[in-house]
Amino acid sequence: MLAVSNSPAIHNQTRQITQRLFCFPYAGGAASIYRDWGKKLPASIAVHPVQLPGHGDRLSEPLFKRVEPLVKSMAEALRPHLQGSYAFFGHSMGAIISFELAHLLRREHTHGPAHLFLSGRPAPHRTKKEPSTYDLPEPEFIEELRRLQGTPREVLEHRELMSVLSPILRADLEICQTYQYVPRPPLDCPITVFGGLQDEDASREKLEGWRDYTTSSFVVRMFPGNHFFLNHSSTVLLRIIAQDLTNMPGGHGPRSF
């Protein structure tokens, strides 16, 4: 079974809340990338960063390399915590996980997310199929990571660190690069999509494609920066998330869990 960090992976103490926000990391990322979000959002919103197996403090656990088994395990582990009104946020690989998890919960007739926040990932039908990079020889793989600009140069040049990080990045990129969307009826929750103005792989046009995947409201918000714009635009991004969560049904009155 998949568990989340700090079993049962809820990083906030139980309190009077109106919304829960479950955050899923990008390829190679850990739950720690969202560690400050709870401090920047209203106290009524509980932030729950999700730690994937093989990442962060779960480094000794086997990595997943396909989205389907990962999402199935995640649904089993998270289901007891999906109470009341909640939302998913996912950046890049995390967007795939959030989207597929929402569909799986609907198939299983489980109470699904009231809002999806998808970041840095084109809509499935706007995602360009490119040659896989997760299985490149190590020198070429490192050069590809350098091109993506998501891994600091000091890390790429640190042999010991890369011996730990490379298998994680390869597994996560395999999830992204082997992902195939299966056509299904659109979701019925609002979708807010975020992107970087300089992210050529996730242009506004490609992000707008997510409009076809919900029957509810939809909006795209663009920020200065490349694929990792959220690292320096979190203040404005979280202000938008807080506003959307506050406007969700049940977003105003406190509720105890």
User: Which residue numbers are catalytic?
Assistant: 92
The angle subtended at Cα 177 by Cα 152 and Cα 20, nearest 5°, is 75
Is there a contact between 53 and 62 (Cβ–Cβ < 8 Å)? yes
3-state secondary structure of 53: coil
The total number of residues shown for the chain amounts to 257
Q: Which two tokens stand for residue 186?
A: 């659109």
Strand 86-91 versus strand 45-49 pairing type: unpaired
Q: Which two tokens stand for residue 44?
A: 């009524």
With DSSP H G I counted as helix, E B as strand and the rest as coil, what are the percentages for the chain, rounded to 5?
40, 15, 45
Sheet of 86-91, strands arranged across:
45-49, 19-24, 86-91, 115-119, 191-196, 218-223
